[in-house]
Amino acid sequence: MDGWIFIDKPKNITSFDVIQKLRRILNIKKIGHSGTLDPFATGILAVALGEATKSIHYFNPTKVYAFNIVFGESKDTDDITGKTVNRSNIIPTLEEIDQCLKKFTGKLSQVPPKYSAVKVDGKRAYKLARNNEKFELKAKEVSIKSLECLGTKNSKEYCFKMECSSGTYVRSIARDLGKMLGTFAYVSELRRIKIGGIAEKDIILLDKFEELVHIGVHFEVMHSIRDVLDDIPAVLIDDELSHKFQNGLSFEYHSKKSETNYLLIETKNRLVGIGRETKGKIKPIRVFNL
Protein backbone atom coordinates (compact mmCIF):
# COMPACT_ATOMS: atom_id res chain seq x y z
CA MET A 1 0.00 0.00 0.00
CA ASP A 2 2.31 2.70 -1.33
CA GLY A 3 0.54 5.78 -2.64
CA TRP A 4 -1.54 8.84 -1.86
CA ILE A 5 -5.16 9.41 -0.90
CA PHE A 6 -6.83 12.81 -0.74
CA ILE A 7 -9.36 13.10 2.05
CA ASP A 8 -12.03 15.79 2.33
CA LYS A 9 -11.31 16.70 5.95
CA PRO A 10 -14.50 17.31 7.92
CA LYS A 11 -14.98 20.18 10.36
CA ASN A 12 -14.12 20.05 14.05
CA ILE A 13 -11.43 17.37 13.94
CA THR A 14 -7.68 17.81 13.63
CA SER A 15 -5.55 16.63 10.74
CA PHE A 16 -3.84 14.31 13.22
CA ASP A 17 -7.25 12.80 14.09
CA VAL A 18 -7.72 11.96 10.40
CA ILE A 19 -4.31 10.29 10.25
CA GLN A 20 -5.01 8.27 13.39
CA LYS A 21 -8.34 7.08 12.02
CA LEU A 22 -6.77 6.09 8.69
CA ARG A 23 -3.97 4.27 10.50
CA ARG A 24 -6.58 2.21 12.33
CA ILE A 25 -8.79 1.64 9.26
CA LEU A 26 -5.90 0.54 7.06
CA ASN A 27 -3.82 -1.11 9.81
CA ILE A 28 -0.74 0.69 8.51
CA LYS A 29 2.23 2.20 10.36
CA LYS A 30 3.86 4.36 7.68
CA ILE A 31 1.45 7.23 7.11
CA GLY A 32 1.77 11.01 6.99
CA HIS A 33 0.21 14.13 5.53
CA SER A 34 1.29 17.19 3.59
CA GLY A 35 -0.01 20.44 5.08
CA THR A 36 -2.00 20.62 8.32
CA LEU A 37 -5.53 22.01 8.25
CA ASP A 38 -6.96 23.79 11.30
CA PRO A 39 -9.74 21.85 13.11
CA PHE A 40 -12.46 24.28 11.91
CA ALA A 41 -11.23 24.04 8.28
CA THR A 42 -12.33 21.56 5.62
CA GLY A 43 -11.02 20.41 2.27
CA ILE A 44 -8.09 18.57 0.80
CA LEU A 45 -5.84 16.73 3.22
CA ALA A 46 -3.09 14.97 1.26
CA VAL A 47 -2.23 11.66 2.93
CA ALA A 48 0.80 9.54 2.00
CA LEU A 49 0.89 5.80 2.68
CA GLY A 50 3.86 3.43 2.90
CA GLU A 51 6.76 4.36 0.63
CA ALA A 52 4.85 7.46 -0.48
CA THR A 53 5.72 9.07 2.88
CA LYS A 54 9.21 9.53 1.42
CA SER A 55 7.73 11.81 -1.24
CA ILE A 56 5.88 14.24 1.08
CA HIS A 57 8.69 16.79 0.95
CA TYR A 58 8.58 16.85 -2.87
CA PHE A 59 4.82 17.20 -3.30
CA ASN A 60 3.88 20.48 -5.02
CA PRO A 61 3.60 23.09 -2.22
CA THR A 62 1.20 25.45 -4.05
CA LYS A 63 -2.20 25.56 -2.34
CA VAL A 64 -5.52 27.23 -3.11
CA TYR A 65 -7.99 28.25 -0.38
CA ALA A 66 -11.57 29.53 -0.38
CA PHE A 67 -12.40 31.37 2.82
CA ASN A 68 -14.64 33.97 4.44
CA ILE A 69 -13.56 36.92 6.59
CA VAL A 70 -15.78 38.71 9.10
CA PHE A 71 -14.85 42.37 9.64
CA GLY A 72 -15.47 44.50 12.73
CA GLU A 73 -14.41 41.87 15.27
CA SER A 74 -11.22 40.07 16.28
CA LYS A 75 -10.76 36.68 17.95
CA ASP A 76 -7.82 35.49 20.05
CA THR A 77 -7.33 32.59 17.59
CA ASP A 78 -7.99 34.78 14.51
CA ASP A 79 -10.79 32.39 13.54
CA ILE A 80 -14.39 31.64 14.44
CA THR A 81 -13.47 29.21 17.23
CA GLY A 82 -11.84 31.85 19.42
CA LYS A 83 -13.00 34.36 22.03
CA THR A 84 -13.87 37.89 20.95
CA VAL A 85 -11.08 40.32 21.84
CA ASN A 86 -12.03 43.58 20.08
CA ARG A 87 -14.95 45.08 18.18
CA SER A 88 -15.26 47.95 15.72
CA ASN A 89 -18.09 49.60 13.80
CA ILE A 90 -15.83 50.03 10.77
CA ILE A 91 -16.80 47.62 7.98
CA PRO A 92 -14.81 48.12 4.74
CA THR A 93 -16.36 48.33 1.29
CA LEU A 94 -15.47 45.96 -1.53
CA GLU A 95 -13.49 48.75 -3.21
CA GLU A 96 -11.46 49.40 -0.05
CA ILE A 97 -10.70 45.70 0.31
CA ASP A 98 -9.61 45.38 -3.32
CA GLN A 99 -7.19 48.29 -2.90
CA CYS A 100 -5.54 46.57 0.08
CA LEU A 101 -5.35 43.13 -1.54
CA LYS A 102 -2.79 44.44 -4.03
CA LYS A 103 -0.34 44.71 -1.11
CA PHE A 104 -0.77 41.03 -0.25
CA THR A 105 0.50 39.48 -3.49
CA GLY A 106 4.07 38.39 -4.19
CA LYS A 107 6.59 37.62 -1.48
CA LEU A 108 5.78 39.06 1.91
CA SER A 109 6.77 38.74 5.54
CA GLN A 110 4.04 37.16 7.67
CA VAL A 111 3.78 36.64 11.43
CA PRO A 112 1.97 33.36 12.25
CA PRO A 113 -1.10 33.47 14.54
CA LYS A 114 -0.50 33.15 18.30
CA TYR A 115 -2.58 29.97 18.21
CA SER A 116 -0.41 27.98 15.80
CA ALA A 117 1.92 24.98 15.90
CA VAL A 118 5.03 27.16 15.48
CA LYS A 119 7.61 26.38 18.15
CA VAL A 120 8.91 29.01 20.58
CA ASP A 121 11.92 27.81 22.61
CA GLY A 122 10.83 24.23 21.97
CA LYS A 123 7.18 24.78 22.93
CA ARG A 124 4.16 25.05 20.64
CA ALA A 125 2.82 28.59 20.37
CA TYR A 126 -0.80 27.53 20.90
CA LYS A 127 0.10 25.90 24.22
CA LEU A 128 1.81 29.08 25.40
CA ALA A 129 -1.21 31.12 24.26
CA ARG A 130 -3.64 28.86 26.14
CA ASN A 131 -1.57 29.37 29.31
CA ASN A 132 -1.67 33.15 28.78
CA GLU A 133 2.13 33.29 28.53
CA LYS A 134 3.67 36.30 26.80
CA PHE A 135 5.78 35.55 23.72
CA GLU A 136 6.61 36.91 20.28
CA LEU A 137 6.58 35.02 16.99
CA LYS A 138 9.10 35.75 14.28
CA ALA A 139 7.90 36.72 10.83
CA LYS A 140 8.59 34.34 7.96
CA GLU A 141 8.55 34.82 4.22
CA VAL A 142 5.62 33.42 2.27
CA SER A 143 4.53 33.80 -1.33
CA ILE A 144 1.02 34.67 -2.51
CA LYS A 145 0.37 34.24 -6.22
CA SER A 146 -3.16 35.62 -6.16
CA LEU A 147 -5.69 36.90 -3.62
CA GLU A 148 -9.13 38.14 -4.61
CA CYS A 149 -12.38 39.11 -2.92
CA LEU A 150 -15.31 37.34 -4.55
CA GLY A 151 -18.03 39.46 -2.93
CA THR A 152 -20.17 39.66 0.18
CA LYS A 153 -21.91 36.92 2.11
CA ASN A 154 -23.64 39.41 4.41
CA SER A 155 -23.08 42.98 5.66
CA LYS A 156 -19.91 42.09 7.60
CA GLU A 157 -18.66 38.95 5.86
CA TYR A 158 -16.74 38.70 2.57
CA CYS A 159 -15.68 35.67 0.47
CA PHE A 160 -12.10 35.27 -0.73
CA LYS A 161 -9.92 32.97 -2.82
CA MET A 162 -6.14 32.70 -2.53
CA GLU A 163 -3.33 30.77 -4.23
CA CYS A 164 -0.23 30.67 -2.08
CA SER A 165 2.89 28.83 -1.00
CA SER A 166 2.99 26.19 1.70
CA GLY A 167 3.20 27.68 5.18
CA THR A 168 0.96 30.66 4.47
CA TYR A 169 -1.56 31.32 7.26
CA VAL A 170 -5.00 32.40 6.07
CA ARG A 171 -5.78 33.57 9.63
CA SER A 172 -2.81 35.94 9.49
CA ILE A 173 -4.08 37.32 6.19
CA ALA A 174 -7.45 38.13 7.83
CA ARG A 175 -5.81 39.68 10.88
CA ASP A 176 -3.44 41.83 8.84
CA LEU A 177 -6.09 42.84 6.31
CA GLY A 178 -8.37 44.02 9.10
CA LYS A 179 -5.56 46.06 10.63
CA MET A 180 -4.68 47.62 7.28
CA LEU A 181 -8.33 48.65 6.84
CA GLY A 182 -8.48 50.26 10.28
CA THR A 183 -10.70 47.62 11.84
CA PHE A 184 -10.60 44.02 13.09
CA ALA A 185 -11.17 40.73 11.26
CA TYR A 186 -11.16 36.96 11.62
CA VAL A 187 -11.66 33.88 9.40
CA SER A 188 -15.17 32.45 9.69
CA GLU A 189 -14.87 29.66 7.09
CA LEU A 190 -11.87 28.00 5.47
CA ARG A 191 -11.61 25.31 2.81
CA ARG A 192 -8.55 24.06 0.93
CA ILE A 193 -9.73 23.46 -2.63
CA LYS A 194 -6.48 22.59 -4.41
CA ILE A 195 -2.92 21.35 -3.78
CA GLY A 196 -0.67 21.31 -6.84
CA GLY A 197 -2.62 19.42 -9.50
CA ILE A 198 -5.03 17.83 -7.01
CA ALA A 199 -8.49 19.43 -6.96
CA GLU A 200 -11.80 18.74 -5.24
CA LYS A 201 -12.75 16.20 -7.92
CA ASP A 202 -9.92 14.00 -6.61
CA ILE A 203 -10.97 13.89 -2.95
CA ILE A 204 -13.11 11.50 -0.93
CA LEU A 205 -14.98 11.87 2.35
CA LEU A 206 -13.38 10.10 5.30
CA ASP A 207 -16.48 8.01 6.04
CA LYS A 208 -16.85 7.07 2.38
CA PHE A 209 -13.21 5.94 2.25
CA GLU A 210 -13.79 3.75 5.30
CA GLU A 211 -16.72 2.11 3.48
CA LEU A 212 -14.48 1.37 0.49
CA VAL A 213 -11.86 -0.21 2.76
CA HIS A 214 -14.47 -2.52 4.27
CA ILE A 215 -15.47 -3.84 0.84
CA GLY A 216 -11.86 -3.91 -0.41
CA VAL A 217 -12.07 -1.44 -3.29
CA HIS A 218 -10.23 1.52 -1.71
CA PHE A 219 -7.26 0.98 -4.06
CA GLU A 220 -9.42 2.51 -6.80
CA VAL A 221 -9.21 5.96 -5.18
CA MET A 222 -5.51 5.81 -4.41
CA HIS A 223 -2.98 7.78 -6.47
CA SER A 224 0.49 6.50 -7.32
CA ILE A 225 3.60 8.40 -6.25
CA ARG A 226 4.38 8.94 -9.93
CA ASP A 227 1.02 10.56 -10.61
CA VAL A 228 1.22 12.86 -7.60
CA LEU A 229 4.75 14.01 -8.47
CA ASP A 230 3.95 14.55 -12.14
CA ASP A 231 5.26 18.13 -12.04
CA ILE A 232 8.81 16.82 -11.49
CA PRO A 233 10.76 15.95 -14.69
CA ALA A 234 11.51 12.24 -15.12
CA VAL A 235 14.66 10.43 -16.26
CA LEU A 236 14.30 6.93 -17.71
CA ILE A 237 17.15 4.53 -16.87
CA ASP A 238 17.85 0.83 -17.39
CA ASP A 239 17.84 -1.88 -14.72
CA GLU A 240 21.62 -1.82 -14.28
CA LEU A 241 21.65 1.89 -13.44
CA SER A 242 18.59 1.51 -11.23
CA HIS A 243 20.43 -1.05 -9.05
CA LYS A 244 23.33 1.37 -8.66
CA PHE A 245 20.96 4.23 -7.83
CA GLN A 246 19.14 2.18 -5.21
CA ASN A 247 22.48 1.37 -3.61
CA GLY A 248 23.24 5.07 -3.22
CA LEU A 249 25.51 5.48 -6.25
CA SER A 250 25.36 8.44 -8.66
CA PHE A 251 25.38 8.13 -12.45
CA GLU A 252 26.44 10.48 -15.23
CA TYR A 253 23.79 12.78 -16.64
CA HIS A 254 24.07 16.00 -18.58
CA SER A 255 21.19 18.42 -19.03
CA LYS A 256 20.62 22.12 -19.64
CA LYS A 257 18.17 22.21 -16.74
CA SER A 258 19.03 23.92 -13.45
CA GLU A 259 21.09 21.83 -11.07
CA THR A 260 18.67 22.68 -8.27
CA ASN A 261 15.81 20.73 -9.89
CA TYR A 262 14.67 17.39 -8.50
CA LEU A 263 14.29 14.54 -10.97
CA LEU A 264 12.15 11.41 -10.86
CA ILE A 265 14.23 8.35 -11.66
CA GLU A 266 12.36 5.44 -13.21
CA THR A 267 12.69 2.36 -15.35
CA LYS A 268 10.11 1.14 -17.88
CA ASN A 269 8.39 -0.83 -15.13
CA ARG A 270 8.71 1.13 -11.89
CA LEU A 271 9.56 4.33 -10.07
CA VAL A 272 13.03 4.05 -8.53
CA GLY A 273 13.47 7.27 -6.59
CA ILE A 274 14.20 10.98 -6.60
CA GLY A 275 17.57 12.41 -7.55
CA ARG A 276 19.25 15.74 -8.12
CA GLU A 277 21.70 16.70 -10.85
CA THR A 278 25.03 17.95 -9.55
CA LYS A 279 28.13 18.49 -11.68
CA GLY A 280 27.05 16.24 -14.51
CA LYS A 281 25.79 13.44 -12.27
CA ILE A 282 22.47 12.49 -10.70
CA LYS A 283 22.81 11.87 -6.99
CA PRO A 284 20.17 9.79 -5.11
CA ILE A 285 18.05 11.86 -2.71
CA ARG A 286 15.25 9.38 -2.00
CA VAL A 287 14.98 5.72 -3.00
CA PHE A 288 11.60 3.94 -3.17
CA ASN A 289 11.28 0.24 -2.40
CA LEU A 290 8.31 -0.49 -4.64
242-254 burial: b if 16+ Cβ within 10 Å, else e: beebeeeebbebe
Would you give the DSSP letter of residue 137? P
Question: Which residue type, as a one-letter code, is found at position 193?
Answer: I
238 classed as catalytic: no
Q: 279: which residues sit within 8 A by CB, 6+ positions away?
A: 259
3-state secondary structure of 45: strand
3-state secondary structure of 180: helix
Question: Which residue type, as a one-letter code, is found at position 106?
Answer: G
Backbone phi, psi, residue 92, to 5°? -70, 155
One-character DSSP codes across 236-259: E--HHHHHHHHTT--EE---SS-T
One-character DSSP codes across 196-208: TTEEGGG-EEHHH
> Of 8, 38, 79, 202, which residue is the catalytic one?
38
Q: How many residues does the chain have?
A: 290
- List residues with catalytic annotation: 38
